[in-house]
Amino acid sequence: MSLLAEVRQADRQLTKRIAAGASPRLHRVLSAVEEMAEGTKLWCGAAGVLAWKGGRRGRTAAAAGVASVAVAQLVSNGVCKGLVDRRRPPKEWIPHDEVDDRPDSSSFPSGHTAAAVAFTAAVARTWPLAGALCAIPAGVVAVERVQSGAHYPSDVAAGAAIGLAAAWFVRRVPRLVRKRMTAAVLP
């Protein structure tokens, strides 16, 4: 069996299991957190709280988080979804009505997960405790994307990878720019 076939099989099994495994109460919690994360509202709100209450460290963490979300959204929704036209999981796999309320765009990758992981990873670098607290809703968002039938687990994994890369990129770019500018000024 090829690696791609194995990923598809795992996607199918995990999607069905996760979609069917949530109790009604857990389903409501997952949906509520996803609704807050829709359009990056949750991450912008968290950035506002960090900047307001966290002093200089909070402002630094908030700026890095928001910049990382912007990069992750550009890559996941602006580039990858245009390059990879993957259908959402079949409705027959999802045993609840939330499957009717999902986007028509490509399933690959999960932009919600990319934003959640990007924000969390960027914040954690500057303020580990705040990052740990952000990891809770980020994890909930990732699970909800599969549970709702909006994404396959591999879409979520790709979104997470994009989020990590975005946070790394945002952290590294200022250093690279300073290094290049110093090299240009000092022959």
Q: What's the confidence (pLDDT) of residue 103?
A: 75
Higher pLDDT, 101 or 17: 17
pLDDT category, 173, cuts 50, 70, 90?
A: confident
CB 146 within 8 A of CB 15: yes
Q: What's the confidence (pLDDT) of residue 183?
A: 64
What number is the average pLDDT over the span 65-83? 95
pTM for the predicted model, two decimal places: 0.89
CB 97 within 8 A of CB 135: no
Q: What's the confidence (pLDDT) of residue 184?
A: 63
In the chain, what percentage of residues exceed pLDDT 90? 57
What one-character DSSP code corresponds to residue 74?
Answer: I
What number is the average pLDDT over the span 23-36? 81
| Closest to 29 in 3D by CA, of 183, 128, 139 | 139
Count CB atoms within 10 A of the CB of residue 96: 15
Question: Does residue 186 surpass a pLDDT of 80?
Answer: no
Question: Does residue 99 surpass a pLDDT of 80?
Answer: no
| Closest to 109 in 3D by CA, of 144, 91, 84, 89 | 84
